[in-house]
Every structure is written in structure tokens, then in C-alpha cells.
Chain A
Amino acid sequence: MKARTLAPILTVVVGALLVVVALGPVYWMMAASLKTDNQIFAIPPVWLFHPTFEHYRHVLADLGMASALAHSAFVGIATTALAIVLGVPAGYAIARFRFRGRRDVWFWFISNYMMIPVILVIPYFLIARNLHLINSPLMLILAYQTFAVPLVVWLTADQFGAIPKALDEAAKIDGAGELGIFFRIMVPLAVPGIAVAAILSLIFSWNELLYAMILTPSDETRTAPVTALSFLGGYSIPWGDLMAAGSLIVLPVIVFAVLVSRYLVRGLTLGAVK
């Protein structure tokens, strides 16, 4: 009887502890971004305060964070759009056709995902330098295909594979061509998988630092994480501004991550874990 009343309480306590440990640091950053500098440095720490949006105004208007966020968004959206154009047909072919080397092709697409960025970034830099593409978002968008395309191929192959075979046979009897079947029947049915792949690809390219730091380093072209990092370069660290920049970067990620929370682990492991 006693154990039975204790168990739910204990469950709630442990659960609350996990939530605090997981979200506490994130909350503390966001709280700091809304404090004055004196409140950030205060000992003991300030728990209750009047929020100020001064740091947000400052980083967005004066420190280039607004354009950096726009660059990040552009690179993320362009990366994702290109990965969908390249990856959806490939996922379709792997799921719906039987041809020699099919498994090898699938495995090859997936294995690109495991690539180590620091091995690729050196040649990317040399190539971009030769082609005068340093600071062009094009190189960055292409570099991001190494993880975005495998993601789209894997998720859409999964989705296309679940569509009954009878459907395209019926369409073929009705005289539809291969392209007609693909665009008018298959793609609409795969939209949920494409949407999940798109969100994951947006998150991963939004979060990336190494390629962005090397390929788009200038003040005018850099992405949000590179810009936030640049605040650390001065004599004294502008803590409030830094935390405001961090919060701005991470807010959309949190929204998207919660949206696809069921798929995030599967996305990170490309389906190795169901």
C-alpha cells in the first residue's frame, strides 16, 4: 500500500529532476539574455528580474545578428531544397525499382553521412579558393549536401517503400509514364517523409559551424553561429549580447526539434535505431 503511493511521487520527482537538468542550462542562458549586465554578474544569482530586451536590440541592430540569421536561414532553406530535388528521386528509385547494385547504392548514399567534416573542409577550402568561391553561400550549400542528401534519401526511401505496389501498376495500365507516376502519385504520398527530412536537414545545417567558419568567414556573409563566436574575440566578453545571440540561434531549433521529436534519434542514426 505504501509502495503504491510512493511510486508515482518518486516518478514525478525523478522526472522533474531530469527536466531541470536537461533544460536548466538553456533556461539560464535565456534568463541571462534578458538581464542587465549587472544582474548577470550578481552574486548571489538573480532569479527574479524585470526582463530587458536591450541585448536583443543591440545584437540584431548593431552587431549584425539580423543579417547573420538571414544568411543562416537562406543557407538552410537552399540546402534543404537542393537536397530534396536530388534525394527524393534517388529514394524513389531505391524503394520502387529492382536493379543490380541497388543495396550498394543505398549503402553508399547512407555512408556519406558518416564522413568526417575536418577531412572534407581542407579540400573544400582549396577548391573554393581556386574558384574564387570563398564567402559564397554556394560552396556551403554544396558542402551541406554531404549530410542533407543521405537524410532525404533514407527517409523518403522508407516512405516510398510503404506505398502499395498495386498503385503504380494501376497507373501504368491507365497509361501514365514513369515521370507522371513519380510526380503525380508518388511524391504527394511521400510528403510526410519529405517534411521530416526537410526539418532535420534545416536543423543540421542551421547548427553547423566548421564548414561555415572556413568557407564563409567575412562579416557580410557569415552565418549565425560564426557571428556569435566572433563576439568572443574582443577584450571583454559581452555576456548579455552573447546569450541573446545564443538564444536567437537556438529558439527555432527547439521549436523544430520538438516538432520532429519522434524522428530525431532515427534521423541522427539514419534509421539504425527504430
Chain B
Amino acid sequence: MLAEQQRAQPALSLPVSKRERRQRLTPWLFLFPGIGVLLAVGIYPVIYALWASVHKVDLVNLAAGTPFDGAQNYFSAFLNSLFTGAVARSLLFLAISLPLELALGMLIALYLHGTVLPRVRSVVRVVLVIPMAMTPVVVGLIGSLVFNNQFGLVNYLIGFGHMQSVDWLGNSQLAYLTTLALQVWQWTPFVTLILVASLATVPPEIEEALRLETKSWLKRLRYVQLPFLLPGITAALIFQTAYIVKLFDMVYTLTGGGPGVSTELVSIYIERNAFRAFDIGTAAAQSVILLVITIVLSNLYIRFFYVEAEA
């Protein structure tokens, strides 16, 4: 392109090419500040973490230096049953909460989509925004209030007015379930609103035609609405998976990972390993493994669900 213009205007070749070069530079001048800062706060730390993951970094004993350690941190990460246990707890957390959120979200979305009263729909849509915008720390605080075993509202409600003494946060399995319940409470609205938006993309004439064809809402869902829902479902899965891998604030507030290690999800474990056990090198290796897991899961979703959508 440059050469062409130079040929077309040989007399002006120098100033034009200068202007041309400046024009090609302009977008990068606008981009430069943002790219620069994100390189510094997003990319450089990841490189730093990769470096730490192959070095021995002991915060308590930094004077001993940080010698190269090969894959030792990765070996000890995998051999550590606390880490593999935390990964397993996070994956189980995903496996339970995602289907629950999707099923509940789908039901609520279908209700909102088919409602005969548009005003109810707009009220509910605004209300649903509140749980997912809530500060996760505060969600944890609310959980510890309503699930308290001595005066919690939940124990009062499940006893129909007679206080039950279920120790929701003191028992390993129950604490895990309570954490799941709060996750589902906070994020089902997110899935719901995504699905409501997806349902709105179904052309009304197609939906109307099918309503005459069959009375079964399940058939309508499977053959007409589902193809339109798949991109939304994929997005919900990717963002909820990423969220659960990152999940820290709410669980940390509610249980601190306990009792024992029963609610110690992977982010909570790595934070503890780095900042309470001060084993920075291994923690860095573990966080790198976590990053790989997230990328693999996202790619799986995209491949699986988008192929389904195209078929």
C-alpha cells in the first residue's frame, strides 16, 4: 500500500510516507497506555509466578536464596494430598452447583419468558440482579447468620416453628452443602438472566407456530428453544466455572475452609499454602496448574457446546 502511493505520487514520496507512517502509528498511541499497564500488572506477574514455580521460594527463609528447583514444586504439588483434595473438592463443587444453577435458572427463565404479566417480569429481573452484585464477603456473613445452629432462621424454618439444632457449619458434609447453597443462591440469578436474554432471541413467529404444533413445553424447549439457548448456556458454564475456580471470598468468610479441610476449595488452599505456610514456590506451581485446568475446561465447553449448536 505504501509502495503504491509512492509510485502514484513520486514527487511527494517523502512527506506522504511520513504521514502514512504517522497514521499507522496513531492507533498504537491510543492503545499504548492501556497495553503498557496491563502488561505490567497482568502479564509480568504471570511470568513471575512461572519463575517462582520452578524455584525454591521460602518466605520465612529468603536469605537462603531462591535456587532453581526444576519440576520439584510441580511434583510436590501433585503428591500433596491437601492440594489434590482441594482440586477434587472444587471439581465436585462445580459438578453439583452448575447443573443445579442451570436447572433452576432454566425453570425461572421459562417462567419469566412465558409470563402473562410483563410488569412482574421486569420487577423480578431487577430483583435478581441484587444477589449476584452482592459483596461475596457479605454473602458469607449472611450465611453464617441464617445457618447459625443456635439462632439461625434456617433451623427455625425447617422445624416449622420448632427450633431444630442442625449444626450446618460445624459438620463437614453440611458445611459443604451450606457453601453450595449460598453459591446457588447468589449465582442462579446470573444463569437465569442469561437464559432469559437467550430466550428473547427466538423469533416469535417460530415460537408461535410451534405453540400451535405441540402442547408439550418440553418438546418446544428441545427442538426450538435449545439451539438458541446453547451460546448462552456455554457462556454461563464458562463464567461460572471460572468463578468457582476463583471462589475465595464467600467461602473464606463463611467457613475459612473448615471444619477441618471440608470446604477448602482450591483457591483457599493455595492462598493458605502461600501466605500461611509461606511455601511460595509450591503455591505458584499449584496456581499455574489451576490456570491450565481453567483453560482446558473452557476449551472443552466451547468445543462440546458449539459443535452441538452447529449440528
CA distance A229 to B108 in the complex (A): 33
B141 within 8 A of A: yes
A85-B33, A250-B135, A258-B130 given as contacts; is B287 within 8 A of A119 (CB)? yes
B115 within 8 A of A: yes
B37 within 8 A of A: yes
What string of 1s and 0s marks CB contacts (under 8 Å) between B235-267 and chain A? Answer: 110110010011011001100000000000001
A239 and B127 contact, CB distance less than 8 A: no
> Which chain B residues lie closer than 8 Å to A146 at the CB level?
38, 41-42
> Which chain B residues lie closer than 8 Å to A109 at the CB level?
34, 38
A43-B156, A93-B31, A264-B129 given as contacts; is B249 within 8 A of A246 (CB)? no
CA distance A99 to B185 in the complex (A): 45
> Which chain A residues lie closer than 8 Å to B150 at the CB level?
41
CA distance A116 to B115 in the complex (A): 38
> Which chain B residues lie closer than 8 Å to A45 at the CB level?
151, 153, 156
A268 within 8 A of B: yes
Shortest CB distance A50–B (Å)? 19
A257 within 8 A of B: yes
Query: B-side binding surface: helix, strand, loop or mixed?
Result: helix
CA distance A15 to B119 in the complex (A): 10
A89-B33, A118-B271, A145-B37 given as contacts; is B120 within 8 A of A15 (CB)? yes
A178 within 8 A of B: yes
Which B residues from 248 to 293 make CB contacts under 8 A with A? 248-249, 252-253, 267, 270-271, 274-275, 280, 283-284, 287-288, 290-291
Shortest CB distance B214–A (Å)? 18
B137 and A124 contact, CB distance less than 8 A: no
A163 within 8 A of B: no
CA distance A264 to B46 in the complex (A): 28
A49 within 8 A of B: no
| Closest A residue, CB atoms, query B107 | A14
B290 and A18 contact, CB distance less than 8 A: no
> Which chain B residues lie closer than 8 Å to A229 at the CB level?
137, 252-253
A12 within 8 A of B: yes
A25 within 8 A of B: yes
B111 and A123 contact, CB distance less than 8 A: no
Residue among B35, B137, B248 having the largest count of chain A Cβ atoms under 10 Å: B137
CA distance A143 to B42 in the complex (A): 8
Which B residues from 171 to 213 make CB contacts under 8 A with A? 185, 189-190, 193-194, 197-198, 201
Shortest CB distance A153–B (Å)? 7
B138 and A246 contact, CB distance less than 8 A: yes
Interface segment among B20-28, B74-82, B216-224: the answer is B20-28
A11 and B132 contact, CB distance less than 8 A: no
> Which chain B residues lie closer than 8 Å to A208 at the CB level?
249
Determine which of B41, B108, B123 lies in contact with A143 in the assembled complex, contact meaning CB atoms within 8 Å.
Answer: B41
> Which chain A residues lie closer than 8 Å to B185 at the CB level?
21, 25
B89 within 8 A of A: no
B274 and A7 contact, CB distance less than 8 A: no
A254 within 8 A of B: yes
> Which chain B residues lie closer than 8 Å to A56 at the CB level?
none
Interface segment among A26-34, A58-66, A188-196: the answer is A26-34
B111 and A14 contact, CB distance less than 8 A: yes
Shortest CB distance A256–B (Å)? 8
A122 and B33 contact, CB distance less than 8 A: no
Determine which of B117, B125, B238, B271 lies in contact with A121 in the assembled complex, contact meaning CB atoms within 8 Å.
Answer: B271
What string of 1s and 0s marks CB contacts (under 8 Å) between B35-47 and chain A? Answer: 1011011101110
Q: Name 18 A/B residue pairs within 8 A (Cβ), A-sorted.
A: A11-B115, A18-B124, A22-B131, A44-B156, A44-B161, A45-B156, A99-B28, A109-B38, A120-B42, A121-B274, A207-B137, A209-B136, A232-B253, A249-B137, A253-B134, A257-B129, A264-B193, A268-B190
Known: A122-B284, A206-B135. 4 other contacts (CB 8 A): A89-B30, A102-B27, A122-B287, A225-B137
Binding site for A on B (CB under 8 A): 24, 26-28, 30-31, 33-35, 37-38, 40-42, 44-46, 48-49, 52, 57, 108, 111, 115-117, 120-121, 123-138, 141-142, 144-146, 150-151, 153, 156, 161, 163, 185, 189-190, 193-194, 197-198, 201, 232, 235-236, 238-239, 242, 245-246, 248-249, 252-253, 267, 270-271, 274-275, 280, 283-284, 287-288, 290-291, 294, 298
